[in-house]
Amino acid sequence: MIIKLTNACASNWLLIADQLNDPEGWSRFVPCHPVDSDRSRFESLVAETAAYYVKLKACKHLLMRGRSAFEYDWEMEEETILGHAMEVAARLGIDLEIGDETSKSVLSERTVA
């Protein structure tokens, strides 16, 4: 599993999990992943670690087999977003990749261990 915090051109900050171990027939319309799957662990931790001040929602247009994504609220401070993303990655025991080639924000391209 790869966890990335990125600032897409048309969206606010996105927290994306790629290379999830979804079953062959996975569909966002008929979720069929087991509770011990990468997707379940990632999505559960995103919700569990989101305190009352962390506002985010699932990006349905980015949900596909092997990928899950959440978009942070436009009004959230970048430090809060980074803190939340780092906590999710740390609790999963995975490095957090940050940024992309189009990101012009304070959060530049780097990996946080």
What residue segments make up the domains of the chain, in order of their start? 2-112
pLDDT for the residue numbered 109:
43
State the CB neighbour count (10 A cutoff) for residue 57: 9
Q: Is pLDDT above 90 for 80? A: yes
pLDDT for the residue numbered 30:
76
Strands 67-72 and 13-18: antiparallel
Are 80 and 70 a contacting pair, CB within 8 Å? no
Q: Is pLDDT above 60 for 95? A: yes
Question: Structure tokens of 64?
Answer: 């596909």
Q: For 95, which DSSP code?
A: P
pTM for this structure?
0.82
pLDDT for the residue numbered 108:
41
Are 77 and 88 a contacting pair, CB within 8 Å? no
Average pLDDT over residues 43-67: 91
Give the pLDDT band of residue 107 (cuts 50, 70, 90): very low
Query: For residues 48 and 51, which has the higher predicted lDDT (pLDDT)?
Result: 48
Helix (H, G, I), strand (E, B) or coil at 109: coil
